[in-house]
Structure 1
Amino acid sequence: MNTLRKKLIQLDGKGYKALKSIQGHYKDDLISLHIDYIQGDPFASPSRIRVIIPLEKTDIDAGQYSSHYRKIAAENFLAMEIANQIRQTPSPVKGTGKSGLVYIDAPGQAIIERTAVKMMKDVIEIRLSIGLPARGRSILGKQAEKLLCDYVPSIIEKSFTSYSRDLLQKYITLADDQETIREYIRENNIVSFVGSGAILPRESGVSQRPMKGEEVITFQSPKEYEVTIPLPYGRTVTGMGIPAGITIIVGGGFHGKSTLLQGIERGVYNHKLGDGREYVITDNTAMKIRSEDGRSVHQVDISPFISDLPFGKPTNIFSTEDASGSTSQATNIMEAIEMETRLLLIDEDTSATNFMIRDGRMQKLVKKEKEPITPFIDRVEQLYSEKGVSSILVIGGSGDYFEVADHVIMMDEYAPYDRTSEAKEISDEITKLRFKESVGTFSDVHNRKLERYIINKKLGQKEKIDSKSLSTILIGREQLQLQGLEQLIDQSQTRAIANIIKFLAKEKNGPKVMKEAIDHLYKQIQENGLDILSPYKGQHPGDLALPRKNEVAAALNRIRY
């Protein structure tokens, strides 16, 4: 580290590119500092460094984190601690552009596998982005010395000496609980568990932090769906267990239907302590389905829902550059089935009306032979009986769904009530106007090829691909829009998806079927970690988070051909 200090002082006032000379490995009594990448100028993407601290210099017991889910919880906790230290102790260094920036890719509300902190057998590696200081394009050597040799080591030292041991243990205990609940619902034919006492409302439409205040109503399970799950250390948790099958959530406007569904859809991830949704756990293959006007579709079999299009256009290998609401929703379901989802989540508000239902009067006026759409209401039972795919639907306007529902939950002032018996009685009492439209069984899943040549063509000679936001990836010059993927929650996941797309495209000897290619890659990630997705040779990928296979497939499916 003394060598680094001398180098930086000597560089004071020189041109910014001279900073490249400090790349390398430096060490002091506590840490090792690896400077992997130096930015080209103070306005460019920040420099990348790794700080490595031996486990023996900490009081962290590596034996506690032998399980994968515990390790993820601990890594997320440490990333949050380091981020808190950075916020509490602002960088003393100022200058042009990104000068003085110190950043770690800390988690939001969800606990997912990330690359910001990596716990290994003997060491902990912290990956940081930093802005090396300059005035204009001249190096501020003494400021850089203060940043790299004093500020960064002090942040790391404070993080590992002042963190709450009790809080870390609570995160580990919570990870044990969440994994136990996931195992329980898999073994007991439950698709989602919502713990009593959960806080489902969020503080705003653009925030995932929990709503606070006396007006917040905590979730309480109806007795009819109440299950008590045994947890480690002799504890239990009680809440609503939604059984496999067809469940509809009903109620008046603004009574909490969509809030409950949003909690359920985010339950595919574990949530951190204090989020309010710590004990909201959903089958991790669940896919939120919506209509998505204008999306690209390539060779998807949507014939179970849409057939006999005018002019003989086939729907068993359906392609379009501009899908309608109904064709996009049918596509989203069939693509989810291709990725072996066990649960569909649908909100009537974001669905195509003609895809969800055709009422009796419309059936009489527009005969079936003139209507290519078989509505979801007439297929939802088959999805479960033939494919084992359950559905949870928010329904506000169509009581015809009472007939096909196994379970009816009514939200009344944010409180859930079982109304299955009443709904079935109403369904029997009121004369049925519509008849079921069905055209046989579901076809076998059409496993499509991964069209590597199309992706490589879009990447171009420079092989450029990058995430621009949570819902946008730039492939060459073309934007890939992911707004329809409501369970994509972190831009670091989007960055990982961008890297995965390129990785799969360049994998010449990889599986040819898309699902098999994704499964094969995730097996490699499981064995070798997310670092294999790094687009940087010799640099840490400290800003990636693991997306689900579902979202990777969904992104590939939206590439325009």
Structure 2
Amino acid sequence: MAVPRGITLIVGGGYHGKSTLLEALQSGVYNHIAGDGREFVLADDTAVKLRAEDGRCIRNVDITLFINDLPNGKDTAAFSTENASGSTSQAAGVVEGMEAGCRLFLIDEDTSATNFMVRDEFMQQVISREKEPITPFLERARGLYEQAGASTILVAGSSGAFFHIADRVIQMDCYRPVDITERVKGLCAQREAPAMGAPAFRMPRGERTMPAFAAAREGDARGGRGGRDGGRRHGHGDGCRGYDAGRDERGQGGGRRGRDGRGDRDGGARGRERLKVRSQGRDAFSLGKENVDVRFVEQIADSEQTAALAHLLRYGLERFADGACPLTEAVERLFAVLEREGWAPFCGSFVPCGLAKPRKQEVFAALNRFRGGMGGGARGGEMDGAKDSDR
């Protein structure tokens, strides 16, 4: 069964396989081993599993598609918080996914924030629209597809409102998918569609930059050995636009090796005092003193990908964390170096075994969850440590 682009619902009774199918689709972004059965479930290789993620950080994200007119007057066009609520984290996840080139969002109603997904008509009558800052996903899904090119596959089990916007409806019946689109459309024709009053769709604005993370340049202040070109500071001039991505960590370009001429096991020259990398299984890693929690980035396949993410982020933070380098450009440069030179520029003379290449979408996700520098330099929407708008 092929599912075309657009908005697709997966429905069915409890325990009939709705979430199981979605989990298969989220793994379908990767190549599989022929004959193991999984090759029968494939998905667009840019697909992103979207979910609520209470407590995650958000940095300068334009979430005005979904959240506006907060009662505390905070700006949502460049929104930052260290402690996001479910709906705000999911709104940011959509915009961050678009930034990462996502063409398909995978959503399970069970792991989503209810007030982000839908507001029924009775609730709209009790709480008028002008008193509700959140525009639900129900009212944005069509615009995301038609104007941003991002399709949606949604597991729905409690609200029938999504039937009215769906292009395709698949019922899971004892783990077998059945196309019931025509029957659902006939039923929808007999019922009044939910009221839609969302503001006009507008693409998120602005190009986000790499965070200005001072710790990434501490080696310069202590040892004076580090730099992009054998002595220049990491964050010089025009940020990553001026960086020669062809230079690696093996001594080319000057000043790259340790005091004794050998790279250390942490993948960098001792004179530069690189950020220490520690992988904590599949769910987290640390860079220096900063922990990066990726347990809810569900398309990370294994701990080897998490370890690779740690090395990729360290490389990016040490070179591009000047507060001026566009985030998308930094990620493109990371993958250009990886494709051309392999893991040595990221790990130094000792390349650990067991590194697995992640997708660009997971690199974006890890960068978006890196909290370094959140204490200062946020340009708007700070929530002063409190839970944000929908609490």
Same fold (TM over 0.5): yes
Which residue of 1 is the match for residue 288 of structure 2?
476
In 2, the alpha carbon distance for the partners of 1:444 and 1:399 equals 29
CA drift of 1:280 comes to 2.2
Q: Give yes or no for contact 1:458–1:475 (8 Å, CA) kept in 2.
A: no
Which residue of 2 is the match for residue 359 of structure 1?
120
Q: Does residue 552 in structure 1 map to residue 312 in structure 2?
A: no
Which residue of 2 is the match for residue 245 of structure 1?
6
CA drift of 1:276 comes to 1.6
Structure with the bigger RCO (C-alpha within 8 Å, sep 6+) is: 2
Q: What are the ranges of 5 or more consecutive residues in structure 2 without an aligned counterpart? A: 223-272, 375-391
Q: Does residue 532 in structure 1 map to residue 293 in structure 2?
A: no
CA drift of 1:520 comes to 1.5
Which residue of 1 is the match for residue 330 of structure 2?
517
Residues 1:508 and 1:420: Cα distance change in structure 2 (over 3 Å):
closer
Compare the two structures and name the one with the higher helix fraction.
Answer: 1
Q: Describe the superposition over 1:509-552 as per-residue Cα deviations: whole angstroms up to 9, x where unpaired.
A: 99810111101121221222234322x42x23322110111111
In 2, the alpha carbon distance for the partners of 1:426 and 1:353 equals 24
| Residue type at the aligned position of 1:332 | G
Mapping 1:89-128, distance limit 5 Å: none
In 1, the alpha carbon distance for the partners of 2:218 and 2:134 equals 34
Q: Does residue 439 in structure 1 map to residue 199 in structure 2?
A: yes
Which residue of 2 is the match for residue 505 of structure 1?
317
Which residue of 2 is the match for residue 179 of structure 1?
none
Q: Give yes or no for contact 1:452–1:506 (8 Å, CA) kept in 2.
A: no
Q: Give yes or no for contact 1:496–1:533 (8 Å, CA) kept in 2.
A: no
CA drift of 1:358 comes to 0.2
1:269 maps to which of 7, 30, 36: 30
Ranges of 4+ aligned residues in structure 1 off by more than 6 Å? 457-460
Q: Give yes or no for contact 2:343–2:351 (8 Å, CA) kept in 1.
A: no
Cα root mean square deviation, aligned: 2.0
SS in 2 for 1:241: coil
SS in 1 for 2:8: strand
In 2, the alpha carbon distance for the partners of 1:294 and 1:509 equals 24
In 1, the alpha carbon distance for the partners of 2:212 and 2:10 equals 41
In 2, the alpha carbon distance for the partners of 1:506 and 1:475 equals 11
1:493 maps to which of 263, 282, 305: 305
Residues 1:509 and 1:391: Cα distance change in structure 2 (over 3 Å):
closer
Q: Describe the superposition over 1:368-424 as per-residue Cα deviations: whole angstroms up to 9, x where unpaired.
A: 000000000000000011011101000011111011000000011111111111111
CA drift of 1:252 comes to 0.4
| Residue type at the aligned position of 1:519 | E
Residues 1:508 and 1:394: Cα distance change in structure 2 (over 3 Å):
closer
TM-score, length-normalised on structure 1? 0.55
Task: Give the aligned length.
Answer: 319
TM-score, length-normalised on structure 2? 0.78
Q: Does residue 402 in structure 1 map to residue 163 in structure 2?
A: yes
Q: Give yes or no for contact 1:338–1:445 (8 Å, CA) kept in 2.
A: no
Q: Describe the superposition over 1:31-89 as per-residue Cα deviations: whole angstroms up to 9, x where unpaired.
A: xxxxxxxxxxxxxxxxxxxxxxxxxxxxxxxxxxxxxxxxxxxxxxxxxxxxxxxxxxx
In 2, the alpha carbon distance for the partners of 1:381 and 1:458 equals 47
Which residue of 2 is the match for residue 449 of structure 1?
209
CA drift of 1:340 comes to 1.4
Mapping 1:90-239, distance limit 5 Å: none
Compare the two structures and name the one with the higher strand fraction.
Answer: 1
Residues 1:508 and 1:439: Cα distance change in structure 2 (over 3 Å):
closer
Q: What are the ranges of 5 or more consecutive residues in structure 1 without an aligned counterpart? A: 1-239
1:424 maps to which of 185, 196, 217: 185
| Residue type at the aligned position of 2:210 | L
In 2, the alpha carbon distance for the partners of 1:508 and 1:342 equals 27
| Residue type at the aligned position of 2:44 | D
Which residue of 1 is the match for residue 39 of structure 2?
278
CA drift of 1:296 comes to 0.5
Which residue of 2 is the match for residue 306 of structure 1?
67
CA drift of 1:359 comes to 0.3
Q: Does residue 287 in structure 1 map to residue 48 in structure 2?
A: yes
Q: Give yes or no for contact 1:348–1:396 (8 Å, CA) kept in 2.
A: yes
In 1, the alpha carbon distance for the partners of 2:167 and 2:276 equals 49
| Residue type at the aligned position of 2:313 | I
Residues 1:247 and 1:452: Cα distance change in structure 2 (over 3 Å):
same
Q: Give yes or no for contact 1:452–1:504 (8 Å, CA) kept in 2.
A: no
CA drift of 1:498 comes to 0.5
Which residue of 1 is the match for residue 260 of structure 2?
none
| Residue type at the aligned position of 2:100 | M
* Bigger Rg, which one: 1
Q: Describe the superposition over 1:222-246 as per-residue Cα deviations: whole angstroms up to 9, x where unpaired.
A: xxxxxxxxxxxxxxxxxx1110110
Mapping 1:42-53, distance limit 5 Å: none
